[in-house]
Every structure is written in structure tokens, then in C-alpha cells.
Structure 1
Amino acid sequence: MKRESRCKENQEYHPLWTGSGKTSGRSYEVFDAELRGEYEGCKTGAAHEEELLRTLSCRYQTTMRRYGVVAAAAVVAVVATLAVQEAEAARILYLAPIGAKSHKNFHLAIAESLAQNNHSVTLVTSFKSSQSRLNIQEVVLTEADITEHMPNLFTTGRASFLADVYQVMVDKCFIALASDQMQKLQTDKFDLVMYGLFNTECLLPVVHRLKVPMILVSNNVLTGTYSDTAYNPHFSSLTASYFLELAHPLTFTDRMMSALFDSLVHWIYPSLALPQMESECRARQLCPDDMPSFSQMRYWSSLTIVNSVRTLERPTLPYSPTVVHAGGIHCRPAQPLPTDLREWADGSGSAGFIFFSLGSLVKPSTMPEKYRSVLLKVFASLEQRVLWKWDEETMEGLPPNVRLSKWLPQQDVLGHPRLQLFMTHGGILSLQEATYHGVPVLGFPVHVDQKHNLNQAQRDGWARVLYWDDLTFANLSRSIMEAIQDSRMKEEVARRSRVMRDQPVSPGAWTTYWIEYVIRHRGATHLRCPAVLMPWYQLYNVDVWVVIMVVSVAVLLLTSYLTYKTLTCLITRCCRTTKDKRE
């Protein structure tokens, strides 16, 4: 990627990144901060060192003229410091063979950010990309694809749960590990291993054989199951698992349910699931004899990258330095739509248009007729046009204001000024894109995490949720009109868009920096928080408070006893004295 385009990307996240070189009207501190941001945001590795030096030389001369020798010397010192920190080009093995097709968009965005910094990334995936990318080599394992095994709401009548496909994911993970491509990769030389967290601990033998630092990547928020492997304290009193659908602030009953659920999961996964996975790995002779247990190796990570925007999390949670937020890393400014689609969108007039997409996991054509007929009737009654992502060329009874398409540039559509509403399944990437582009949402959850995502968006005030069982002409019409006409929803999503974009560096630059940090230091064990390794009674000072309570009670009892004895003695003596005087 050229330096100019890299700067343009970072302009979306901070107003100082103009790359113009103008300093008039700003203090030296502002200019210094700008130069720091430009260098960090725009560096692209050794391939562009010459161009970078020319640019910095120009900025140096400008500073000399405007701020004098002292200020220029300070700028040179900053540049020298940053240059020393830049990591050399590294070879990175990125393991993400298990997961949905949309998950690859998140992993690929991280890989692209690394590749732009001249690192060589080998990405193991089950989905083939439509184009090749510089510095990224894809190893495609189609046999590890789990898409066809995912339960379909439209065909099974219920949303999928992790337990439905857990064993399938484990089996596919071993298939990927046993493949010739994966076995060959274990004989190559790499500087770092990254792997996606999706019941993929069977890939730990790769880390053992390569003996390099490891980074975990979660395509969702950090859950309690993996908080300990991320060396990050988890508080079930603050936030509950999305499986429970409990909203903050948690009541006493909610906190009890959350605590019991987290305790159960923390016991089941490392005590039952991981040993079973490890036994199968050794039985298949895919794990070396000298390899430590999975339960030990899962704590080898230096960082955990999560797909979440920290400034938008509710409630705000405490994190250790080993957790890196990369939410929105795939988001980008909208580009012009293809000519025919742009003319169709522009022709929607003041009423605008609605975008309807159910993502990549569910085939829209498997939708039951009762749902499709309601959607068509409502769409036909709207003054807005409707752009519908559909996996077939035509549809029976299609209204004239509805346009079908098998594939659409979703972010370019979301960024179109005439778009009024995004009707979506509620996938985390789609909701991040809607937030980035400031588009209100009407959600139809299909899978369990999407229900949580949409309910949270509705609580935050920028989305409406309509469940498929409640899909009627009246409910859908009312929900669409409310979402389009509610000014509070538009104001809230616009505010969230500003918050999401207002970051010191872009998510790509932030994530790349911390990955390079691990490479430079050959691991980052010094960042680990010891809290997760402490017994719970020590972490929460339960033993201390028990001792304090016991001592306090003992002192109280002793004091009471002594007071009682003293008063008894005094009363007895007083009575005796009075009696003696009377006699």
C-alpha cells in the first residue's frame, strides 16, 4: 500500500493525520503529536524507508524554519526513537482454519495490516479469497469448512448453539492439523504463531514444534472462558455471558446466575473438554510425546486480540496490557458504488432506500415462504426502495421497488448518503460497519450471539429487534417506520460513529504495533497480570477477610465477656456495700 493511502486510512481515525505538512496556527506540541501519529500511522516497512526519510527531511526543514533549532532537534529525537522501535520484517503463521466465512474478514484485516508493514503472513483458512494480496500467502483447507454443518434457523426452526457444532469443530480442527499442508508448515521457520480462538486448541502442537511466541485472536469479545488464557481478570458481577442474556447492571439474581455459569464453564472446559481433545490428539499421533498438556500450553499466549471497540463497550471493563482491541479493523470509508447500483440508489430520491442482508452463513433462499411473503408485502407498501442481498437471480412476486443482488459491497452501500436503514442478521462485523458508517439498524437474529448483539444495540438506543416468530405485516411495517423516523436512533448511532472513529491510531496500526512488540521482545510474558493465576480466595482477599471477621468476632466476644464480668463484679460489690451499711 502506498504511503498516501495509508495516511488516508488513518485520517478516518484522527483529525491531525492530514499529511499536509502545514504547521501554521498550531503549537509545537500539536505539531510534534502530529508527526508522531504520521510516522506511526504511515510507516510501511523497509520498502518505503527512502520515501519516509525524504518526507521526514522535508518536515525537519519546515520545523527548522518555523520553530528553530531546539524544536527541530526534539523532532529528530522523536523520529530516531520511533525508528529504533520499528520491527524488522517477520514471518508470521496465522492459523484460522475453523470458523464462519465472515470470521475470515476479521482475520484477513489483521493479516493485511501486518502485510502493509512488510511482514510475510501465511494465513491458514478454509475459504479461498477472490484475489491475491502482497505479502500474504493463503493455505486453503476446504476440508475444514464447517458451514454446511451449522444449523440453519430457516431449515431447523431454531438458532444454532455452540454445543450443536462443537464436536464438528473439533473433528475439523484435527483434519486441518493432519493435512499435508499443515504438516509441511511445521517444518518451516516462523517468528510468530497466531491462531483464532474457536475450539482450536488442537492446533497447539504447531506452537510446540515451532517454539515461537504465540498470540490468540478472538473474532468476538473476550468471554470468561478465555479471560484466564488472556491473563485478564474476569468479573462475573460486571458482565454476564451472552448465552444468559442478562443486561447491566446485574441484579442479585443475575449476579448469582452469572457467577454459577462462569464457574461451571471454567470447570467444564479445562477439566473435561481440553483433556478429551488432548487424548484424541495423542491417539491420532498428532501431538509429540514431549509436548506439555493443552491445559498448560493454553497459558503460553503473549497477547489476545479481541474483536471489540473498547470505547463502545458497555459496561466499561478493566483490561490488562495483554488484551488488544481490534474492533473495526475491517471498517473503511465508503467508495463509489458501481455505476448501475449508484444510479439506482441516487434515484431513490428523498425517501431513500433500505438495505437488507442476512450475512454469509444463512442462505436467504431457504427462508420459509411465510416469512418471505410478509417481507414482500411490506416492501411493496413502502415509499423507500429496498436493496436485498439474495442468493438467486430472481424471485417470484418481486415488487418494482425491490432490487436483488447475489453480492454487494456492503460498506460502500452503508456509506451511501441516501441509505435510511440497515436490516441485518446482527453479526458483529455487520454491526461494527453500521456503527462506523452511522446507520440505524433493524435486526433479525439468526444465531445465538446475534441475539445478544442486537439486544445490546437496542438497549444502547440505535437499533430495533424483531424476532422471526413475531414477523407479521403490522409488526414489520411499524418497526421499519419507527427505525426510520426515530431521530434519537439516528443521533445515537451518529454519536457512536464519532466515538468509534476517534482513536489515537487506527485499529490496524494499534494491532500491528502490539504484534511487532511481541516479535521484538520474543514474547511478552512481562505484560501478564498474575491475578488469573491466583486462587480465588487470595485474589479477592477472602482469607484475609475471614481472619479479620474471626478476630473481630473473637475480640467482640471477649470484650463483651469482660464487660459482663466487670459489671457483674461491680454490681455485686455495690450491693454488698449497701447491705453492710444498712446492717
Structure 2
Amino acid sequence: MTIAEELAARNHSITYLTGFESTRERPNIREIYVPGVSLFTMITNTFNTSYFQMFKILLPELHKLCPNLLATQEFQSFHQEGGKFDLVISGLMSLDCFLPYVHTLQVPLVYVFPNMVQGSMDDVAGTPFFHSLGGSMVLSEQFPYSFKCRLIVTFHAEFAKFINVWYSLPKMERECKSRQLCPDGLPSLVELRINSSLFITNSVKTLETPTMPYTPTVVHAGGIHCRPPHPLPQELEEWVSGSGDAGFILFSLGSIVKPSDMPIQYRIVLAKVFGSLNQRVLWKWDEDSVSEVTLPPNVRLEKWLPQQDILGHPQLSLFMTHGGLLSLQEATYHGVPIIGFPLFADQYYNVGRAEGEGWGRLINWEDLSYDLLRNTIIEIINNNKMREEVQRRSVVMRDQPVPPGEWVTYWIEYVIRHRGAVHLRSPAVHMPCPKSLAPTGKKGSNVSECSLTTLAAPSLKGMFVTSGDSEMHKTMDQRCTVAGR
């Protein structure tokens, strides 16, 4: 929504299709609520579901989510209006079934990705990705990487591309066509997916570790939502100000995790540690009380909190977080050290980066204990080096030629002015074999990679024989034939 608001502020008329219902009216923005099933509603309890369990649950259903949105009355009504647009901005995650609609509009496509460019998407972004430098969303290990980690990063990136190109996208396309939601006679979703003009990534370029090369179509928008703090509500201000020189701690697990799903043993440890501290603790919780736990008097529960206003408060000592990227960007912007308790997706990677960069600590839930948590909190609060490092990063983050919102808006308008800005696009997106395994990016490495892909293909096909998905095998044969030209 932040990008939409930035464009609307420059008098662009925005039609915003969203899965989140809102009653707030914004100038120049028409919101169309498209009800659907969120990926996260399929996970009943994030505390008890591992990354690979999530993958197992979500993979069979991913190809249905997007067609289900196309089939809603809300989208069909919007589609029948036949509106004219200058450009389409779309999320990259599991929304590919909208691409035929974008293709019929004959307008430029801009992708938005909620994290750094990953090796699993260099074929879409058209930018080189070096597995020896870039990490993986499923790992907390940070640069410089061990050989084992580089192997895992490489496998994860190529396996994710394999699953997407040869399984998920063809299956989504068949689902759309079987329900008459996608017209025949158009290029495949795999082909349409690489036809983007801009790739907006939620990353601060000057804070990436290590630095990476990018093509001109990759635009960094990290911190676009960050802002200076506003005054707190009076009652809350009086409470946090009453913490005195000791300060206070903010503990929030974000907007997706349901805190009341937390196992009782974790609640007991947290409450016991909080009660032993000199600091007050502001705890975001989704119920009126923490069941089966007696909270100490220095702890205050709130169902909703103005997070950026709290992070910008001068008496805040520490931010305890789930490790969502937006939260960590806000912590960086306001110069607050963190303790991260990751649960899923990119949170392990995000918190691992903060720890590797020297302004945070990672605690796995299964390792949580009274001594570990209390010692970590005391270490960070008393460690001036960690606060100095995050405050240094805050200065770097803010030191940009223009604010991220203006930067992103400029490049979106640039694409409109130049009718897709085809001259900026990398030819790499049209190459049959990805170059991401090449340490130097030299052409010769493609030959060996194609050979490896060809050798691996029979084994990979055999792995999926039990699925009965012959269409996937056919797609794979076609892709391997093209790659061998």
C-alpha cells in the first residue's frame, strides 16, 4: 500500500486489488477487496510447524489460491469494467495467474518482492546472483558462508526454480484453463512471468551484506514505510516514561503470528524473565490476559501498538521481535538493537543477518530458557557496541539522495514514460539456462550447467513419477529440449 500511496500523492489514479478489507479512504486510491484464502490461514499454529512442514502443506495448494481469486465475483466485476491502465504492479508470490490479464492490457508490468533478490528469482529479475555471496531465506547462517552452506543455498535456489517452472506454474495454468479463467492462445505463464519492466525489492542497497551487483531494472525500496515517530497516546506515554533510567522493552511477534498459540512453557519462561528485570516490558498480545501465567507488575499487555512510535521513543532499550523484515527495517531506522525469535519463512535469515552484523541476537524457540533469555537481554542492554552499530546503520539507511518513496515513484513513472523501458531489460531473462551457478558469470559456464541439468533431469522426473502428473513431465521435456538448442 505504501507504493500506492506514494503514487497517489503524485496525482496518479490507483486501483488497488487487495485481500485485506479496509474502511479507510485514501485520495486517488480505489480499493477493491478481493476475498480469498491467505497462505497463512492454512497453517494452524506457526509455533508447531517447521519450514519443511509448511512447504509440504502449502505446495499442493499454491496453484489453487490465485485461480480462486480470479473466480471471485469481486474480480470478475472489476474485469468486466474494462478499465484502461498505464501500468500494472503485482506481487511476485503466487499471483502468476493474473499475468494473462496483464498481457491483454498491453501495459508494462512491475514486480514487487517483499525481501532481497534471491537466487530462486534471478531468472525473473534478470540480475546476476552469486551463490557464494547471496544467502537463502531458509538459513540463518551469514556471510562469509561455509562450503556446506553454499551447497545448500545453491540447491535451494535451483530447486525452488525447478518446482516453480516445471511444477507450480504449469499446474496453475491448467487449473485456470480448466475453470475457464485464463483464455487460450496466450503465451504460457512461464513466458509471461519474465516479461516485466521493473523489479522492486524491499531491501536497503547500502546495508546489504555483502554488496551485490544489480541490473538497472532492480529498484531498492527498503524502508519505504519507515517514518519519524509520532507522540504516543497520553496514557501509554505516561507508562513508558515511568520506566525511568532503566527504560522499557517492546515485545511483539507481528501481525501474522497469533501470540496465544504460544506453548505454555514459553509463556512461563518469558513472564519469569520479564519479572526479574529492572525494565518495564510492553507485550503485544491478542487476548486480555496470558492464560495460565501470572504476569509481573512491570509487564503491560496491548492488543495493538503504534510500533514505529514506540521504536522511536528515547527510553526504549530493546526490541524483542519475530524477525519480520518490516519490523527489522523499522528497528534499524530508529536505531534499536533486537532479539529475534524466528518462526517461519525469511525470519531466520533476517534475524541471522542482524546477529551477523552485530546489532541483534537470535534465539530459537526450542532453545528458550530462563538463563539464556535473561543473559541475552542483559548483554544487549549493557552492550554499547551493539547500540552504536545499529545507530550507525540508522544513519546509513537515512543517508539517501531521495527518500525511498520518491525513488520508487521516479522509476515507475520512468517505465510509463518510456513505454516499458525495454532498453533497461537484461537479455538474461530470455536465456534458456540460468547463470546463477556461474562464479564469474562467463558464458562458458552455461554449457556445464546445461549438461548438469540434462543429467539430473531423469532423476528429477523419476522423483515425481508417483504424483501421476504427466503434464509436468511433458513440460520438463520441452524445457530441456529448448535448453539444449
Same fold (TM over 0.5): yes
- The answer on whether the counterparts of 2:136 and 2:153 sit within 8 Å (CA) in structure 1 is yes
Pair 1:109–1:540, CA change in 2 (3 A): same
Asked if residue 321 in structure 1 is aligned to residue 321 in structure 2, the reply is no
Q: Please name the residue that 1:405 is paired with.
A: 302
Pair 1:166–1:125, CA change in 2 (3 A): farther
Aligned with 1:308 (options 188, 191, 203):
203
> Within 5 A, what are the aligned runs for 1:6-85?
none
Q: Please name the residue that 1:431 is paired with.
A: 328
- The answer on whether the counterparts of 1:144 and 1:173 sit within 8 Å (CA) in structure 2 is no
Asked if residue 450 in structure 1 is aligned to residue 350 in structure 2, the reply is no
Asked if residue 185 in structure 1 is aligned to residue 78 in structure 2, the reply is yes
- Give, in angstroms, the shift of residue 151 of structure 1: 4.6
Asked if residue 138 in structure 1 is aligned to residue 31 in structure 2, the reply is yes
Give the counterpart letter for 1:239 in structure 2: G
- Give, in angstroms, the shift of residue 272 of structure 1: 2.3
What are structure 1's unaligned runs of at least 5 residues? 1-107, 547-583
- The answer on whether the counterparts of 1:159 and 1:447 sit within 8 Å (CA) in structure 2 is no
SS where residue 456 of structure 1 aligns? helix
- Give, in angstroms, the shift of residue 327 of structure 1: 0.6
- CA separation in 1, counterparts of 2:108 and 2:447? 39
Q: Please name the residue that 1:116 is paired with.
A: 9
- CA separation in 1, counterparts of 2:50 and 2:430? 42
- The answer on whether the counterparts of 2:64 and 2:172 sit within 8 Å (CA) in structure 1 is no
Give the counterpart letter for 2:412 in structure 1: I
- CA separation in 1, counterparts of 2:152 and 2:233? 50
Asked if residue 227 in structure 1 is aligned to residue 122 in structure 2, the reply is yes
- The answer on whether the counterparts of 1:151 and 1:160 sit within 8 Å (CA) in structure 2 is no
> Within 5 A, what are the aligned runs for 1:563-578?
none
Q: CA RMSD in A?
A: 2.1
Pair 1:435–1:363, CA change in 2 (3 A): same
- CA separation in 2, counterparts of 1:462 and 1:160? 30
Worse overlay, 262-271 or 194-203: 262-271
Q: Please name the residue that 2:368 is paired with.
A: 471
> Within 5 A, what are the aligned runs for 1:128-167?
128-156=21-49, 161-167=54-60
- CA separation in 1, counterparts of 2:379 and 2:170? 51
> Within 5 A, what are the aligned runs for 1:358-373?
358-373=253-268
Asked if residue 513 in structure 1 is aligned to residue 410 in structure 2, the reply is yes
SS where residue 448 of structure 1 aligns? coil
- The answer on whether the counterparts of 1:150 and 1:160 sit within 8 Å (CA) in structure 2 is no
- Give, in angstroms, the shift of residue 461 of structure 1: 0.3
Percent identity over the alignment?
52
Give the counterpart letter for 1:541 in structure 2: K
Q: Please name the residue that 1:216 is paired with.
A: 111
SS where residue 127 of structure 1 aligns? coil
Pair 1:319–1:461, CA change in 2 (3 A): same
- CA separation in 1, counterparts of 2:260 and 2:428? 50
- Please give the per-residue CA displacement for 1:222-265, whole angstroms capped at 9, x wherever unaligned: 11222111121222222132224443223444434433443333
- The answer on whether the counterparts of 1:127 and 1:145 sit within 8 Å (CA) in structure 2 is no
- Give, in angstroms, the shift of residue 542 of structure 1: 1.7
Q: Please name the residue that 2:90 is paired with.
A: 195
- The answer on whether the counterparts of 1:197 and 1:218 sit within 8 Å (CA) in structure 2 is yes
- Please give the per-residue CA displacement for 1:137-182, whole angstroms capped at 9, x wherever unaligned: 1111233333321352335477864443234343221111112222
- The answer on whether the counterparts of 1:303 and 1:324 sit within 8 Å (CA) in structure 2 is yes
Give the counterpart letter for 1:502 in structure 2: D
- Give, in angstroms, the shift of residue 530 of structure 1: 1.8
Give the counterpart letter for 2:195 in structure 1: W
Give the counterpart letter for 2:371 in structure 1: A
- The answer on whether the counterparts of 1:438 and 1:497 sit within 8 Å (CA) in structure 2 is yes
- The answer on whether the counterparts of 2:333 and 2:394 sit within 8 Å (CA) in structure 1 is yes
> Within 5 A, what are the aligned runs for 1:416-565?
416-534=313-431, 535=433, 536=435, 540-542=442-444
- Give, in angstroms, the shift of residue 206 of structure 1: 1.7
Q: Please name the residue that 2:473 is paired with.
A: none
Q: Please name the residue that 1:248 is paired with.
A: 143
Q: Please name the residue that 2:471 is paired with.
A: none
SS where residue 117 of structure 2 aligns? coil
Give the counterpart letter for 1:183 in structure 2: Q
SS where residue 229 of structure 2 aligns? coil
Give the counterpart letter for 1:206 in structure 2: Y
SS where residue 354 of structure 1 aligns? strand
How many pairs align?
A: 439
- CA separation in 1, counterparts of 2:186 and 2:446? 38
- CA separation in 2, counterparts of 1:276 and 1:529? 28
Give the counterpart letter for 1:390 in structure 2: W
Larger Rg: 1
- The answer on whether the counterparts of 1:213 and 1:302 sit within 8 Å (CA) in structure 2 is yes
- CA separation in 2, counterparts of 1:337 and 1:160? 40
Give the counterpart letter for 1:542 in structure 2: G
> Within 5 A, what are the aligned runs for 1:324-363?
324-363=219-258
Q: Please name the residue that 1:265 is paired with.
A: 160
Pair 1:136–1:167, CA change in 2 (3 A): farther
- The answer on whether the counterparts of 2:283 and 2:301 sit within 8 Å (CA) in structure 1 is yes
- CA separation in 1, counterparts of 2:120 and 2:253? 28
SS where residue 197 of structure 2 aligns? strand
